[in-house]
């Protein structure tokens, strides 16, 4: 009876075995992977092969590298982002924070938002969403949203200048008002349309959101409509490993 031929260990098989350990919980979120030398001895391969195997897991977003050469199983605490309730009906904005910040605090987490404001011409996509002429003047408020000190969302809200002129929408910093700014200035959102795209991030998004390689993002576009048409479009970039998107619909 012939003995079975031992399986040849490659970078792919090493990645497969480590992936199983991550999936079944043997290696838990936040755990440090064995060193390259330990893995090389375990699998009977070279350090280069080990490195290639770990790189596969980095590319899949399962493992992150740290200073000093350590590699850890990625550990994030996702937030539940209920898009049915978000900004709907009786908004929970106040001087202490907007509807998003309130929801994060309700979940026992600590929100913070860094806001920058600019004016300029609408590009063709924003003009289409807002139903305004291309190159019409708009106001943009860009929010880098963090949870417990970690970047979680990059949200860019665009408003037609005819709505934003002379209002708190031009104010610097994290401005929030009871009921929302749009309602307070006489342009409440009466309905919204959502568009969600799953894609890989741009280099700029990866840098701003501190994304490990291989992390996809959800691009959530919410167009808010008033009585006469769109009053705002918000484009939110949300890392896939930090969010669970929820919709609740009546059927």
Tell me the CATH number at 152.
3.40.1410.10
**Could you tell me if residue 60 is inside a domain?**
yes
What pTM, to 2 d.p., does this model score? 0.77
Q: What is the pLDDT of residues 7-66, one digit of tens each?
A: 678 999 999 999 999 889 899 888 999 999 999 999 999 999 999 999 999 887 788 887
CA atoms in the 13 A half-sphere facing the CB of 250: 0
Is it the case that residue 5 has pLDDT exceeding 50?
A: no
The stretch 160-164 carries a mean pLDDT of: 96
Residues 156 and 229 in one domain: yes
> Which of 86, 83, 118 shows the shortest CA–CA distance to 101?
86
Altogether, the residues listed in the chain come to a count of 251
Residues 23 and 58 in one domain: yes
**Could you tell me if residue 6 is inside a domain?**
no
Range 34-57 burial, b when 16+ CB lie within 10 A, else e: eebeebbeebebeeebbebbbbbb
> Is the Cβ–Cβ distance between 230 and 131 less than 8 Å?
yes
Read off the tokens for 79: 């937030």
Residues 21 and 144 in one domain: no
Tally of structural domains, the chain: 2
Q: What is the pLDDT of residues 163-173, one digit of tens each?
A: 999 999 999 88
Residues 28 and 143 in one domain: no
**Could you tell me if residue 1 is inside a domain?**
no
Residues 66 and 171 in one domain: no
**Could you tell me if residue 3 is inside a domain?**
no
Residues 67 and 93 in one domain: no
Distance CA 202, CA 178 (A): 35
Residues 68 and 88 in one domain: no
Final residue before a domain boundary, out of 73, 95, 120: 73
Final residue before a domain boundary, out of 73, 94, 121: 73
Q: Residue 145 contacts by C-beta under 8 Å, 6 or more apart in sequence? A: 100, 111, 112, 113, 151, 152, 153, 154, 155
Final residue before a domain boundary, out of 73, 88, 104: 73
- CATH of residue 24's domain is 1.10.10.10
**Could you tell me if residue 4 is inside a domain?**
no
Instruction: With H, G, I as helix, E, B as strand and everything else as coil, classify residue 230.
Output: strand
> Is the Cβ–Cβ distance between 14 and 39 less than 8 Å?
yes
pLDDT at residue number 99: 83
**Could you tell me if residue 5 is inside a domain?**
no
Distance of CA 217 to the CA centre of its chain: 6
**Could you tell me if residue 180 is inside a domain?**
yes
> Is the Cβ–Cβ distance between 208 and 151 less than 8 Å?
yes
Q: What is the largest CA-CA distance in the chain?
A: 88
pLDDT at residue number 91: 60
> Is the Cβ–Cβ distance between 141 and 156 less than 8 Å?
yes
The stretch 111-133 carries a mean pLDDT of: 96
Q: Residue 66 contacts by C-beta under 8 Å, 6 or more apart in sequence? A: 72
Residues 61 and 97 in one domain: no
103: domain range?
Answer: 79-246
> Which of 55, 44, 49 shows the shortest CA–CA distance to 11?
49
Q: Find residue 232's DSSP bridge partners.
A: 224
Residues 121 and 231 in one domain: yes
Residues 214 and 133 in one domain: yes
Residues 142 and 48 in one domain: no
Share of the chain above pLDDT 70, in %: 93
Q: Residue 142 contacts by C-beta under 8 Å, 6 or more apart in sequence? A: 115, 116, 117, 118, 154, 155, 156, 157
């Amino acid at each position: 009876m012939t003995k079975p031929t031992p399986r040849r260990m490659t970078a792919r098989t090493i990645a497969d075995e480590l992936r199983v350990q991550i999936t079944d919980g043997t290696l838990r979120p936040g755990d440090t992977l064995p060193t390259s030398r330990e893995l090389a001895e375990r699998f009977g391969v070279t350090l280069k092969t080990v490195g290639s195997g770990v790189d596969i897991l980095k590319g899949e977003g399962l493992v992150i590298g740290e200073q000093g050469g350590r590699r850890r199983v990625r550990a994030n605490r996702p937030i539940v982002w209920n898009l049915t309730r978000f900004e709907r009906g009786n908004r929970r904005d106040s001087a202490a924070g907007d509807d998003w910040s309130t929801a994060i605090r309700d979940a026992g987490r600590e929100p913070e938002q860094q806001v920058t404001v600019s004016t300029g011409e609408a590009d063709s996509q924003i003009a289409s969403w807002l139903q305004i002429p291309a190159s019409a003047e708009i106001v943009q408020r860009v929010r880098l949203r963090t949870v417990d000190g970690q970047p979680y969302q990059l949200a860019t809200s665009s408003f037609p200048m005819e709505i934003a002129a002379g209002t708190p929408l031009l104010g610097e910093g994290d401005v929030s008002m009871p009921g929302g700014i749009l309602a307070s200035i006489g342009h409440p959102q009466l309905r919204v349309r959502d568009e969600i795209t799953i894609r890989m991030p741009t280099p700029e998004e990866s840098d701003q959101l501190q994304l490990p390689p291989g992390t996809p993002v959800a691009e959530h576009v919410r167009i808010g409509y008033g009585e006469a048409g769109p009053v705002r479009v918000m484009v939110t970039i949300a890392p896939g490993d930090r969010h669970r998107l929820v919709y609740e619909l009546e059927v």
